[in-house]
Each structure stands twice: as C-alpha cells, then as structure tokens.
Amino acid sequence: MVVTDRGIIFNIQHFSLHDGPGIRTTVFLKGCPLRCPWCANPESQRRRPESILDAQTKKQTTIGEERTVDEIIAEVLKDIDFYEESGGGLTLSGGEIFAQFHFAKSILQQAKAKGLHTAIETTAYVEPQKFAELIEYVDFIYTDLKHYNTLKHRQVTGVQNNLIIQNIQYAFAHHKQIVLRIPVIPGFNDSLTDAKHFAQLFNEHQITDVQLLPFHQFGENKYQLLGRKYEFEDVKALHPEELQEYRQVFCDHGINCYF
C-alpha cells in the first residue's frame, strides 16, 4: 500500500522571497537520488532522519521528521494573507520532491484545492509519467541541468541526464512557467566549450531561456556538521562578472541567458 498522507521533511521556511513569486512558504522534503558534490543542502540527500551536530549547542540532534499532509497544509495556510497580497504561495523543495512522489503530489493537490499558488524546485530526475502527473498541480517550476553529456553527468551526480532533459523539454513544450538553471561548477561545466554544448542542446530542444547559477560554498559548513567530506573545500566561488563570456555564448545562440 502506498502511503500518500505522510512523509519526511527537514524544514519549513516561512516568508521566503527567493523560491518563486511573492512571499512563500517553502517545505523541504528529504531524499534525493543525485549526489552532487557541491550540494548546498547535503542534509536533504538521505531519505530518513539523520544525526547532525547543532552548530550552536554543539550537541548531536536529529534532522528530518515525519509530517502529515494535513499538518503541512495547516502550517502553510497560516500565512495565506501574505500570499494573497504578494502573489505568493507554497513551494516544495528538497532534496528531490519526486523521491517522495505520492506525498509531494498529495500536498500539491490539497494546496490547489485551497486556492494556493504552487511552485516546485526539482532535479526533474523521475519517470516522465510521474513528472507529467505531478506538474498538473504546479504553477511554477525551478529546475536545472547540470551537464549536457550523460556520461559526465552520471560520473559526477550518480545519475544519467536523459530523463532530466526529457522532462525539461516536456515542461517547455506544455508552456509551463519554468526557470531552467545551470549551476556553473569549476572543473565540471564551466568552460566556453561547455557553454557551447549546452546552447546547442537547448537550440535542439527549442529551449530559449536559461539562468546561470555561479558556484558558491554556502553549504560547506553543513558537511562538517554531518561528519562528511566536502569535495569543493578549496575551490573558489564564481561571480557573475567572471562568467560574461560564458553567458555570451548562449546569447550568440539566440538564448536569453541571465543571472
């Protein structure tokens, strides 16, 4: 029997301004099939609750808890006045929301039944049928493509990119409101040749807009708290001014590229 009314989350963030239009409440689900070594939320990768060192108390605590759909919707509705004033709503993030597909779908269904605007942040790594089924309840999508080459994508993230590309193309073809992003990672996908291959792939699939996310180290401290090694410890962050030539490659291919 598939459990749809409960799942594992690791945070609910109120008054979020960067996870979709307006003022939003962002619910972070645990579990992700990818293992990107630069991940800013490593505490989201494992599905089950786990131990983490509290940075303030210096004591071990548990991150991740089971919550029901009704509990989450009740929490989200506390700020409904702010959504109505700002055009905001609910955002599901992670982790990867499709790792808890039935749970995520149930949350979005109830949110739409309450008249809420819904957004998701997803890797789009899921069977196309499930992707199409869930985004019926989604108004706004954030997703990203980490590499154009399926072998290199798998070598670094642990999964191939074919499902991701197929689902991104589906979202664009069905005129969903979508922000497609490339996390620009030093030594992985940051060369001008990489930009050219990304742009050619986007031209092939009639993708006309992309956002660049320069590499940062915002999540570095979390790896220490989880007792894990951070592979990008000595890698410098990137800044938009360093990626102007990279951006120009997309513009030269007729793609609206922005930061």
Q: How far apart are CA 41 and CA 62, in angstroms?
A: 15
Q: What is the mean pLDDT of residues 21-46?
A: 97
Residue 146, in any domain of the structure: yes
- 14-20 contacts, C-beta under 8 A, 24 or more apart: 14/78, 14/79, 15/79, 15/82, 16/91, 19/91, 19/93, 19/119, 19/121, 19/142, 20/88, 20/89, 20/91, 20/117, 20/119, 20/140, 20/142
Residue 203, in any domain of the structure: no
Q: How far apart are CA 108 and CA 112, in angstroms?
A: 6
Residue 253, in any domain of the structure: no
Question: Confidence class of residue 35 from pLDDT cuts 50, 70 and 90?
Answer: very high
Structure tokens at 80: 């409904």
Tell me the pLDDT tens digit for each residue of 56-102: 999 999 999 999 999 999 999 999 999 999 999 999 999 999 999 99
Give residue 162's domain range. Answer: 6-190+213-230
Mean of all residue pLDDT scores within the chain: 96
Q: What is the mean pLDDT of residues 211-225?
A: 95
Question: Confidence class of residue 1 from pLDDT cuts 50, 70 and 90?
Answer: low
Q: What is the mean pLDDT of residues 229-236?
A: 94
Number of folded domains that form the chain = 1
Residue 22, in any domain of the structure: yes
- 13-18 contacts, C-beta under 8 A, 24 or more apart: 14/78, 14/79, 15/79, 15/82, 16/91
Residue 249, in any domain of the structure: no
Q: What is the mean pLDDT of residues 19-35?
A: 98
Tell me the pLDDT tens digit for each residue of 130-159: 999 999 999 999 999 999 999 999 999 999
Tell me what pLDDT residue 3 has.
64
- Cα 247 from chain centre: 21
E strand or H helix at 212: strand 209-214
Residue 177, in any domain of the structure: yes
Tell me what pLDDT residue 204 has.
95
pTM for the model: 0.95
Residue 248, in any domain of the structure: no
CATH number of the domain residue 26 falls in = 3.20.20.70
Q: Hunting for tokens 């992003």 — which residue is that?
A: 181
Residue 136, in any domain of the structure: yes
Tell me what pLDDT residue 246 has.
98
